[in-house]
Amino acid sequence: MGLFRKRNTKKKYFPENKTTIFLDNFSIKGDWKNKVQIGENSMLNCNLIFESDKGNIKIGDRTFINADTFLISRNSIEIGNDVTIAWGCTIYDHNSHSIDWKERRNDLFRQLDDYRNGNDFIKNKNWDTVKSRPIKIEDKVWLGFNVTVLSGVTIGEGAIVGACSVVREDVEPWTIVAGNPAKMVKRIKHD
């Protein structure tokens, strides 16, 4: 059996969701109870990651998210209906580390301590020094492969983001953007 024949092996996460297919690469890491909402008739092959006790991920109806895509939340990631997200994308609603090198060094010392004591190595991370803002991906959006979406971004309805782009700023509805940083290439006709 090929990759495209595998189905619903991760149904244990959301047994009440009868129509969404959770493929073999789908996983959730961290404290996720009551922090994830998934719509109907979607197909998910991605990784949802909560690095702290905060964060929220909402995925709409009829949405496809492919393998090796990471949704990493400490704030909020909202993905609308009829969205297509290719493989290898990273959607990250926080900056992960402080801009102050001393805070990053302190984080490393805490990580070493946590790991040596048998804990998750970010258990005692100081999140107060890390900037975090919500991400919203509106309905009918398509993200090409290896796209990175950074914190605070809204991608407007029907927008297309070209492969390997880095989205640092909001994307207007019904436009195509590409590059690093992503810039508008053209407007899309729509009905």
56-72 per-position pLDDT tens digit: 999 999 999 999 999 99
Q: State mean pLDDT over 143-166.
A: 98
Amino acid at 164: C
Q: What does the block give as tokens for 78?
A: 């909202």
Strand segments, DSSP code E, in the chain are 21-22, 27-29, 36-38, 43-44, 47-50, 57-59, 64-65, 70-73, 77-79, 84-85, 90-92, 135-137, 142-143, 148-149, 154-155, 160-161, 166-167, 175-178, 183-187
Question: How confident is the model at residue 17, as a pLDDT?
Answer: 83
Question: How confident is the model at residue 11, as a pLDDT?
Answer: 58
Whole-structure pTM value: 0.91
Distance CA(48)–CA(37), nearest Å, equals 11
Distance CA(90)–CA(116), nearest Å, equals 29
1: pLDDT confidence band, cut at 50, 70 and 90? very low
Q: State mean pLDDT over 126-146.
A: 97
